[in-house]
Chains A and B, each alone.
Chain A
Amino acid sequence: MTVSINKQATDPTDVLYGPSVGDFWQLLKPRVMSLVIFTGFAGMFVAPGGMHPMLFCISLFAIAAGAGASGAINQWYDRDIDAVMARTRLRPVPSGAVQPAEALSFGVIVSVLSVLLLGLASNWLAAGLLAFTIFFYGAVYTVWLKRSTPQNIVIGGAAGALPPVIGWAAVTGSLSVEPLLLFAIIFMWTPPHFWALALFRNEDYTRAGVPMMPVVAGEFETRRQILIYALLLAPLAVAPSLIGMAGMGYGILSAALGINFVRLSWVLYRRPDDAAAKRLFAFSILYLFLLFLGLVVDKLVAISGLVAGL
């Protein structure tokens, strides 16, 4: 196919349209994808049993691709509200870099390929869970929950909590209480994380008409609920060491992190300002990262202990 354009446009947004590789990369929400890769990796790594390293890498790649694909579908559907929010107005679809149909096609194709790849590389339980996650995020959360209830990110958080479960299922071919515990930790972590963001991005969400908790129930109620979730999350995160899934080192780490999470939530509850919300938001990212890193290190220590004992 040849492209024929005779005039040189003076306004770049006039007739010229050239999506770049970077635009499609942004459709995959790389920052979200990096967190999915990490939690998915942790789920795979701490799962009992082994997996061929090549299949391990391909499975992790498929989980990441599936998460990215659901991000592309999300950006296709949310292009109207993304366009009015300062944080998202430069995303590829609202900025005009990628056409909506291209974003949807890209998301659907990558979704199908990622599920197929995961099924072939590991097992169809993991692939089914990945398909469910994409459907849940793309359809249930994006299309329904996000615009209809302040509980959007509470219920929708299930999609973000599934990657370690998928990772575990990819290695073991089954589910048990341990991956469900990892699911529960991320599930309880999601509301305080996103509500802290919503507190200092309140104007954005109000303008877009997204019924986030601070928009609908007010900032005080949001801060109160953040504190409640933090109080539930802190002991829950220690649970892996209590059920024998992780050792004492992880238990101490998770307890210390949990205390700080509750402390920052308490500070936000008592002293409502953007700085406190930003501190909690930033720490929540570090919290989840360190928690799952702790699980991985704990498993590494256990493995090295076993090897040394041989």
Chain B
Amino acid sequence: MTERQQPKTAEEMIRMRRGLNKVILGAIAGLAVLFFVLTIVRMGGAG
């Protein structure tokens, strides 16, 4: 395992947190899409 990228300034730390927040938002949106697709496929009689 390599050394992790550490924030060196407060600005960098805030930028990293914003980046993480965006990924969390994307993950939640992705899950919503996943459950939507799941529902549609299931309603179609698959599985």
Contact = CB atoms under 8 A, between A and B. Distances in A.
B partners with A: yes
Contacts of B13: 3, 5, 16-18
Contact of A52 (B6, B10, B41): B41
Contacts of A88: 1
Interface in A50-77: 51-52, 54-55, 58
Nearest to A20: B16
A138 B16 CA distance: 29
Interface stretch (A114-122, A176-184, A186-194, A276-284): A114-122
Interface string B1-25: 1111111111011101101100100
Contact of A120 (B4, B6, B7, B38): B38
A5 B17 CA distance: 14
A12 B3 CA distance: 13
A22 interface: yes
Nearest to B3: A90
Contacts of A7: 10
B4 to A, nearest CB: 5
Contacts, number: 84
B10 A113 contact: no
Interface string A95-116: 1010000000000000001000
A243 interface: no
- Interface size class of chain A, counting residues whose CB lies under 8 Å from the partner chain: 20 to 34
Given A18-B16, A21-B20, A55-B38, A97 B4 contact: yes
Contact of B47 (A12, A51, A90): A51
Contact of B20 (A20, A55, A92, A117): A20
Contacts of A16: 6-10, 12-13
A26 interface: yes
B14 A90 contact: no
Given A5-B13, A16-B6, A117-B34, 14 more contacts: A5-B10, A16-B7, A16-B9, A17-B7, A18-B7, A18-B12, A19-B16, A21-B19, A21-B20, A24-B20, A90-B2, A90-B4, A92-B4, A120-B35
19 contacts: A3-B13, A9-B10, A16-B6, A16-B8, A16-B10, A16-B12, A16-B13, A17-B13, A18-B13, A18-B16, A19-B16, A20-B4, A20-B5, A21-B20, A22-B5, A92-B4, A120-B35, A120-B38, A121-B47
Interface of A: 3, 5, 7-9, 12-13, 16-24, 26, 51-52, 54-55, 58, 88, 90-92, 95, 97, 113, 117, 120-122
